[in-house]
Amino acid sequence: MSKQGFEFEELEVAQFGMAFNGLNRDLMTAEDAEAWQPVIQAMSQFLDVLDQKLISNQAKIAEDHGDSSRAFSILLTLIAVGTQYRLEQFKPKDDAGRERRRIIVEEYIPQTGALRGKAIDLAKKYLAAPVFDSLRDAINYEILPLLDSMDYQKDPDRWMPFRVVQIANIYERLYGFRLRSADPLLVGDDQKPGLLRAIYDRKYLRFGTSGVRGRWAADFTERRAKQVVQAVCDFLNDIDVPDFVGAENLSGKKIVIGYDTRRNADRVAEWTASVCLANGFEVAFANRDTPTPALVYYLTDYLPAEDVAGLLICTASHNPPEWQGIKFNPRLGYPAPSNVTDYLAFHINELQLLDAGARTTDVEEARLSGRLKGFDPLDDYVNWIKDNGNGNARIPVDFDRIRDFFSDKMLVIDEFHGSGRGYMTRLAGEAGVRYTVIHAQRDPELTGLAYANPEEPFI
């Protein structure tokens, strides 16, 4: 029997996600050999049962896309995060820390590395199933080397961030293989998506700068977006968050939600609000597309500090116009640190392995009841800048010097069709500077640019 109370041999295939999540969380939170050794042993036993009941069942791999894709996702998850980065990179400060580091290097990393190696072998066995025969050369030359690159025995210095990137590459390449096969089991038909799509829908989401980003309707779907927000809400409600992550219970407080100008960003913001409201938070919802600095100002300087939980921004940042994303800033306004985003990615993956949807509620009802209120920070933000940040130690803005410098000049303001429209023009007007403005209309297609990045060679 496992630490989670499971008799592995009695598990139904549909229970594998729940069983794995429990073991993987125990492995994530283990601090010493007494904690990690029994979990490693139990996880190894779980892999044996996974192999027996599914990986070795070639027909089930081909035909049951839900359980099949879940099994492969379990293996890739363990390969990536089975050895925790916080322990891989533990830096001792005293004799006790040096002894802990010795145990990590001599015991924890090799033992979890061997466990990940077992998962790599099973992933290769999964991909050896006949259903993948039409892609055999592509898998051999493009996927197996990626798996081998994460093998502790072959390269012990490939840490968790590298492995998370590599499994993302595996998901992406497998999904791209749908263009190389005509097998309906792999690529689907009019009635049912194929196995390659089912696998891709379980992609381990990786946080970039405090957020997740993806291609609309590919790896950024309504279901995945809402799972991201659900994970953030669970974090802010401090639901089963490990102590080392550093959560605080902010239940019932206010989440600020903003969005940019790209197509569907306002729609994603509505999804985001629905999940936040259903999880007990109040919502301050931007009335229009709004730049990040103004949203952070509204969170940290306009609203009372004791009332806020955090900020969610629906933006894909610099990425191409067909991308979408969600960024999370904690209540103090800074981008979420890596210990938080690593945990959020871990928890999002837990939700997808369970096929768990997010909690949602009706946004319009929340508007009527007052739990969701709109805002536009432009006036207050401009006044705050004029007042030099109301004493918050910002560098003062000398409007007299600006006015004198531009007294015989015309300022050209290029608003790039972005969410900062109206801010610089307002400040120039307040300073008494003559100006003209170009590209001042919202353009959800980013004027046809390849990237939302106002730098060469993208403009």
Residue with the two structure tokens 């829908």: 201
The b-or-e profile of 268-294 (16+ CB within 10 A means b, else e) is bbebbbbbbbbbebbbbbbebbbbbeb
- Give strand pairing partners of 308: 254
Q: What is the dihedral of CA 380, 382, 388, 389, to 10 degrees?
A: 40
How far is 287 from 419, CA to CA, in rounded Å? Answer: 12
pLDDT, one tens digit per residue, over 327-355 is 999 999 999 999 999 999 999 999 999 99
Q: Taking the domains of the chain in order of start, what are their residue ranges?
A: 8-203, 224-379, 398-438
Tell me the two tokens of residue 6.
Answer: 């499971």
Q: Determine phi and psi for 283, rounding to 5 degrees.
A: -130, 130
Assign 88 a pLDDT band (cuts: 50, 70, 90).
very high
User: Which pLDDT does position 118 carry in this prediction?
Assistant: 98
Strand ordering across the sheet containing 254-259: 211-215, 323-330, 308-314, 254-259, 282-286, 372-375
Distance CA 455, CA 459 (A): 6
Q: Residue 326 has what pLDDT?
A: 97
pLDDT of 290 strictly over 50: yes
Reference 121, options 42, 50, 191, 223; nearest CA is 50
- 131 has a pLDDT exceeding 90: yes
Element housing 56 (H / E) = none
pLDDT, one tens digit per residue, over 12-33 is: 888 999 999 999 999 999 999 9
User: From CA 92, how far away is CA 160, in angstroms rounded?
Assistant: 19
71: enclosing H helix or E strand? helix 65-81
Confidence of residue 455 (pLDDT cuts 50, 70, 90): low
Position 52 confidence tier, pLDDT thresholds 50, 70, 90 = very high
Is the pLDDT score of 135 beyond 50? yes
SS3 label, residue 328: strand
Tokens 């229009």 appear where? 288
258 forms bridges with which residues in the sheet?
A: 313
The rounded distance, in Å, linking the Cα atoms of 236 and 256 is 13
pLDDT, mean of residues 305-328: 94
In the predicted model, is pLDDT for residue 458 greater than 70? no
Q: Using CB atoms within 10 Å of the CB of residue 18, give its burial: 0 to 12 exposed, 13 to 18 middle, 19+ buried.
A: middle
Answer with the residue of higher pLDDT: 452 or 150: 150
Yes or no: say if 14 and 67 are a contact pair by the CB < 8 Å rule: yes
Q: What are phi and psi of 194, to 5 degrees?
A: -85, 175
Stretch 138-148: mean pLDDT, rounded? 98
Residue 351 structure tokens: 């939700």
Residue 1: pLDDT band (50, 70, 90) is very low
pLDDT confidence of residue 454: 64
Q: Which CATH class is domain 224-379?
A: alpha beta
What's CA 26's distance to the chain center, in Å?
21
Residues 136, 387: Cα–Cα separation, whole Å? 65
Instruction: Identify the pLDDT of residue 2.
Output: 47
Instruction: State how far the Cα of 284 lies from the Cα of 274, in Å rounded to an integer.
Output: 12
Section 405-411 average pLDDT:
94
Geometric angle at alpha carbon 379, from 378 and 382, rounded to 5° = 80
Given a cut of 60, whether residue 157 has pLDDT beyond it is yes
- Name the average pLDDT for the chain: 93
Range with lowest mean pLDDT among 121-135, 201-215, 255-269: 201-215
% of the chain at pLDDT higher than 90: 82
CA 416 to chain CA centroid, Å, is: 27
Length of the chain, in residues:
459
Alpha-helical (H) ranges within 188-251 are 195-200, 222-236
Average pLDDT, integer, range 383-403: 78
Distance CA 383, CA 379 (A): 6
Q: Are 377 and 297 in contact (CB under 8 A)?
A: yes
Strands (E), 90-221: 211-215
**Poorest-confidence range of 287-296, 374-383, 436-445?**
436-445
- pTM for this prediction: 0.93
d(CA 122, CA 51): 7
Expressed in angstroms, the distance from the first to the final Cα of the chain is 61
